[in-house]
Structure 1
Amino acid sequence: MAAQGVSASWYVASGLLRKDSPSGRILDAARIRELAAGGHEIALHGHSHANLALQSTTDAVFDIRRNINELSDILGRSPSKHFAYPYGETSVALKRALRGEVASARGIRAQSNGEGQDRLQLGAYELSPDPATCSRAEAAMAQAARHGGWVVLFTHDVAHEPSPYGVTPQVLAQLERARSLGARIMPVGEAFLTLAGQPAVVSFA
């Protein structure tokens, strides 16, 4: 991504730092600061990475606030107030509780975002080892190029031998495809602020 001169959104679950996970070892505080210094957006994924839709709204909000506080301590400033639901799960009650807590919340429903989009249920396209996910993402970008919209692409790890939830570096060539279609590539927070009036936007998370 650095070679292509683009930045991404990194949704970080602060309680998982330095731990092993199904998608590999989670980054540490030094890496978070390095990414932020490189122009990437450090965003919210809850502290515990628990399914917040199954918790009380009080516990869910507490978890997100802890995420904000711990990332603030790492960064020396507040993180982005854009949030990704752990496991993509939400509920009407949770969305209502988040209205004053976050700027946006992203799920995992494969859909593009446009005028009138629910800011607490942003759609996104997963990129994984399954070639069908890349095909869906490319079709969405082509559709946005024709009719306008905001396409969010997400994955969990990037490696030459990725986990079942990640991709190889070569898959990020999708970003060049987005450029060739006339899209602007930017982090979620930047796209959220500048989407109005833009013909096509792609975010990578």
Structure 2
Amino acid sequence: MAEQPERPTLQARVSNRLSRYFSVTPLRLRNERPMVSFTFDDFPESAATDGVSILDQYDAKGTFYVSGSLVDKWCDHWQGVSAGDIVQLHRRGHEIACHTFSHQPATELDASRLAAEVEQNRNYLRSLAPSIQIDNFAYPYGLGSVWRKAQLAKTFRSSRSIIPGVNSGVVDLQYLRSTPLIDRNIDRDGIDRAFDALVDTNGWLIFYGHDVTARPSPYGCTPTLLRHALDAAAKRNVAIKTVAGALDAAGA
């Protein structure tokens, strides 16, 4: 699981659970071949260095969900990415996406506060590079909000949860499933099983993680685990795409 707030309220837990069952933007995927996306939350510096270096070896691009307030900051487990690295990765074709500005759970934000968080994050990222498009969202702490899904659908092509599984058939664009690429949650066999399920369904597998380092935080992965996932994709002829690229291929 991704890092959680200390004690999610009962309302937050209920809202997150209900988010799984009430779809506001259903889409039948129409991709021609299985797809995988590698996504990183909060954007630790190591994801921009070690992580991207490995992605480059496979000619792969990632999606990085940024909270502007965490940029250039130490955040308990890692150093946040620099503003300059965000710009460089954007120019190299990686996707920069939204994770709210202050990293507050959507379950704790009313409509006006969520809109303000999104706008502040958008303005911050565009102040770094006006060409950055903020088209996709990931729920901070993985806590989806049944009350905010319709609002997010008006602003973003997709919102990503941390409920594991392959996205296949008809999916909820505002509650996409994702699988942890986190050493304490998955091993090589688990990665292989996830890819086998992906190929069987011709679906879309989304991995999420945080830092990438030889000694990762409880929410990160080693370079070895990331390489294994990329090798597994190559062996099965799975297309590696950013979230935005996968949505295009799926006909969203």
Q: What TM-score does the superposition give when structure 1 sets the normalisation length? A: 0.90
SS of the counterpart of 2:64?
strand
For structure 2, the residue ranges without an aligned partner over 5 or more in a row are: 1-54
Instruction: Please tell me whether residue 122 in structure 1 is matched to residue 176 in structure 2.
Output: yes
Aligned to 1:194: 249
Q: Matches of 2:99 and 2:183 in 1, distance apart?
A: 23
- 1:1-205 equivalent positions in 2, closer than 5 A: 1-130=55-184, 132=186, 134-173=188-227, 174-196=229-251
Matched-pair contact (CA < 8 Å) for 2:180–2:186: no
**Superimposed CA distance per residue, residues 129-162 of structure 1 (whole angstroms, 9 cap, x where no aligned partner):** 2263554333121111122100001110101111
Q: Matches of 1:22 and 1:167 in 2, distance apart?
A: 16
Question: Which amino acid letter does the alignment assign opposite residue 163 of structure 1?
Answer: S
Matched-pair contact (CA < 8 Å) for 2:72–2:81: yes
For structure 1, the residue ranges without an aligned partner over 5 or more in a row are: 197-205
CA-CA distance at 1:23 after TM superposition: 3.3
CA-CA distance at 1:171 after TM superposition: 1.0
Question: Which amino acid letter does the alignment assign opposite residue 249 of structure 2?
Answer: T
Count of residues in Structure 1 that have an aligned counterpart in Structure 2:
196
Q: Matches of 2:218 and 2:239 in 1, distance apart?
A: 28
CA-CA distance at 1:104 after TM superposition: 0.3
- Between the two structures, name the one with larger relative contact order (CA 8 Å, sep ≥ 6): 2
SS of the counterpart of 2:172?
coil
Aligned to 2:23: none
Q: Matches of 1:30 and 1:69 in 2, distance apart?
A: 16
Aligned to 2:6: none
**Superimposed CA distance per residue, residues 158-186 of structure 1 (whole angstroms, 9 cap, x where no aligned partner):** 01111111111111121111121120001
Q: Which runs of 4+ in 1 moved over 2 A?
A: 131-138
Matched-pair contact (CA < 8 Å) for 2:168–2:201: no
Question: Which amino acid letter does the alignment assign opposite residue 140 of structure 1?
Answer: A
Q: Matches of 1:136 and 1:65 in 2, distance apart?
A: 38
Q: Matches of 2:112 and 2:173 in 1, distance apart?
A: 21
Q: Matches of 2:185 and 2:142 in 1, distance apart?
A: 21
Q: Matches of 2:118 and 2:192 in 1, distance apart?
A: 32
